[in-house]
Structure 1
Amino acid sequence: MIALPRPYGSLHLRVDGPEEAPALLLINSLGTDLRLWDALMPHLTGWRVIRYDKQGHGLSDLGDGTSIEDHAADAAAILDALECPATVIGCSIGGLIALRLAAERPELVRALVLSNSAAKLGSAESWNDRIAAVQADGTHAIADAVMERWFAAPFRATPELALWRNMLARTARDGYLAACHALASDDQTAATARLTLPTLVIAGSEDGASPPDIVRATADLIKGSEFHLIEGAGHLPCIETPIEMAALLRPFLQKHAR
């Protein structure tokens, strides 16, 4: 475990792979920690893979975290500390963080992969409703509904679902709420339309949190981006369909991340 000092405390990160290899920075979704990527890791051998827990999630301390800029500053601090630019792979809110990082610190980002994300996720009203529910009853109260949005029906029938439900339900309330506030107020559309770096955009056909149409619309904002739909996958293809996701990542990374 690595603890990166930040103004608010410690940010938990992990680095795997050869130090001299090209770097990948993986940024998690809301309500998950760096274990989100475990099933994908066997397919990323040969890369220097950097994972971390967003502030207020996993083992990281709680910062302000109420804007995407706050989270992008953490991502930049990681790459500055490790002294390496990276291809940034962001899932859901992680994609928004990746977009902001690319806009503000382009020298740190070689290429982008946006998984099940968009330049604008949800409406302020929908996030405010989520905030109110979590404030009233905690993250466990929304866990079942979130599982419906995250995963396709076949995965929801497996014993593994309980582990991801537990991860969400045990996420610190204040950390989850801070990230919800960031999502409620954030819109990266204008900044995204100005990006010109290589970008791969991935959607899941069964995604109830970031439907394919809004993911595709974000791909359309970035000139020259690639869009791919994984059939049968929900919001987190790195969990449900890691082999299919790796098949999309591999040629993109070989071309743009070295």
Structure 2
Amino acid sequence: MQAFLKTLFEKQTYNSKNFFLLAGPCVIESEAIVMEVAGSVSEICKKLGIPYVFKSSYRKANRTSANSFTGIGDEAALQLLKNAGTAFGIPTVTDIHAHEEAAMAAAYADILQIPAFLCRQTDLLEAAAKTGKIINVKKGQFLSGQAMKFAVEKINNAGNNQVLLTERGNSFGYTDLVVDYRNIPWMQAHGTPVVMDCTHSLQQPNQSSGVTGGNPQLIGTIAKAAIASGADGIFIETHPNPAVAKSDGANMLPLDQLENLLEQLVRIREALL
């Protein structure tokens, strides 16, 4: 595990041979949901020895329809994110969408995440880098793993070497995605840990309804293949009841299914060592 990740997880007791986990609800909906998910996943990860980062977006800017839920308010959501991290002794990650958001979000989160469609935005990458936080860049649906070296270089040139790259599938026609697992070693060749986004890679975007669809029943398939392919980390959006979630409910794993999946992934990891 790279030094910056060891520092990130220094408050946790975990098996250093395990993958790390970024998990939580798609967007911050309420204090109750944030605390339930962060607390539940934290306990599961302690039991399994998995280093854990709580993930939730304080605002969703990349919505298909203008009528989609975007958040409860920036400062309120960011404070709930920070509260969850403090309450359970875990680091946190949230998305930013524009360069002027970087400093604001950095005051509350440990990792700033760059959405896939924005991974080429130079001013956004540089602003994120200059906060000194760890930067997780999702690979664009239109890019190869090799091409992500330019995103890494932009962040490094801005004085920040704390970079994660996340695979989340490539566009396949207008309304589907496919995962090319070659992107995991290709992106690791840039000197960064690589995360597999097991939920967004199963999206079915651009639906005529304006609401993104998905195939959450295949989250386990994507996750197991990613661990077998050598992924350093796993990204899973999870919710107590995805059917009523305010964002990306069609992609999220029900919270009560997470522990069983993580147990399987730990066993696969152990078999590879």
**Do these two structures clear the TM 0.5 threshold for a shared fold by scoring above it?**
no
Q: 1 or 2 for the larger relative contact order (CA 8 Å, sep ≥6)?
A: 1
What TM-score do the two structures reach when normalised by structure 2? 0.34
What TM-score do the two structures reach when normalised by structure 1? 0.35
Q: Whose helix fraction is larger, Structure 1's or Structure 2's?
A: 1
